[in-house]
Amino acid sequence: MARPVLLVKSGGAAGFDEWRGLLAGPLPQLEVRWWDDPGVAAERVRYAAVWDPEPGRLARLPALRAVFGVAAGVDLIAGDPAYPRHVPLVRLVAPETTQRMGEYLCWAALSLVKDARRMAIAQSRAVWDYSEAPGKAPDFTLGILGLGGLGQGCAPMLQAVGFKVIGWSRTRKQVPGVESYAEAELPAFLARCRILVCLLPATPETAGMLNAALFAQLPHGALLVQAGRGSQTVLPDVLAALDSGQLGGAVLDVFEPEPLPDGHPAWSHPKLTLTPHVGSLPTRAERAVQLARNILAFERGDALPTLYDPAKGY
């Protein structure tokens, strides 16, 4: 009898052979096939592992038991109005996701503290711009907006560098050495953040949250790291806050749309460092190990800590 199918849509058709090679060993009970393979009958598809399925496609798979994201954020899957709501959706957070995000946040926060953007501009002009940034990590309280799985995992790395880490989330958390603020305490949290790191998921509530009104609640000259989702950033407000000095500098990894359009003033702003959504991108091999773990755990009926909750929207 033909094995049930796992459809994969991530990295384009060119990436599929690698996915199949990585998944065939740990998942011998499944046939791994490409998303657009015309030879796959819809009734045979038990699972899908996807990043950005075309809206409506998942709803046309009658035997689908679960959908597995290939990244921590699944907004491009859950945002499908036709998503079959009875089918569990599982986010992918590998140990390497946290390690890589922790590295990114340490790099971004330190580059802001060290004024690395100013030095990079000076170098590009062959200018020996000798002046040392006065601050050091322990002088900065760094607040994580969205102290969830990633934020809690990254906090010890930021603390090891010397930052005093605090966090904000819908519900209060118990994280060693991290003062946790709950949803209603946002103003008190923001008032303390000399560095604000956003790790929020994309939801209707978080859309447009990084705006002028929020920046005005930060200490003057606060530094911003945005590694959540582009829908949360009001980019003109970021640029205005950088120009006025309310924000002292920013590192942005996520945008809407991506890529950032040609000619956008954010490309060249002297106080802004831009990265192309690479905050945490585990390799395909790293993600395949976690994907196989998630599928096997689902088949055993184990609780999945990264199960998407449609009621919360993340």
Residues of the shown chain interacting with ligand NAP in the complex, contacts defined by CB under 6 A: 72-73, 93, 97, 101, 146-151, 169-171, 183, 199-203, 205-206, 227-229, 253-254, 277, 279-281, 314
Distance CA 215, CA 247 (A): 7
Query: By C-beta, is 118 or 293 nearer to ligand NAP?
Result: 293
Please identify which residue in the block is written with the tokens 């995992």: 153
CB nearer to ligand NAP: give 24 or 186. Answer: 186
Q: Which of 229, 269, 284, 300 is catalytic?
A: 229
- How many Cβ atoms are within 10 Å of 269's Cβ, its own excluded? 18
Residue nearest to ligand NAP (CB): 148
Pick between residue 44 and residue 170 the one whose CB is nearest to ligand NAP: 170
Centre a 10 Å sphere on the Cβ of residue 35 and count the other Cβ atoms it contains.
Answer: 19
Nearer to ligand NAP, 111 or 280 (CB): 280
Q: How far is the CB of 40 from ligand NAP (least distance, A)?
A: 29
Catalytic residue (one of 33, 277, 284, 293) = 277
CB of 282 to ligand NAP, least distance (A): 9
Q: Is 229 annotated as catalytic?
A: yes
Q: Which residue, 26 or 149, is less far from ligand NAP as judged by CB?
A: 149
- How many CB atoms are located within 10 Å of the residue 45 CB? 22
> Bridge-partner residues for 90, per DSSP?
68, 307
Min separation Cβ 225 and ligand NAP, Å: 10
| Other Cβ atoms closer than 10 A to 256 | 13
CB of 5 to ligand NAP, least distance (A): 27
Which of 10, 79, 12 is CA-nearest to residue 48?
A: 10
Helix segments in the chain, DSSP class H? 16-24, 75-78, 95-113, 116-124, 149-161, 186-190, 212-215, 235-244, 284-300
Q: Residue 170 catalytic?
A: no
Q: How are beta strands 272-274 and 247-252 bridged, if at all?
A: parallel
* Pairwise CA distance, residues 140 & 222, whole Å: 10
Q: Taking the complex as a whole, how short is the minimal distance between the CB of residue 138 and ligand NAP, in angstroms?
A: 25
Active-site positions read 229, 277
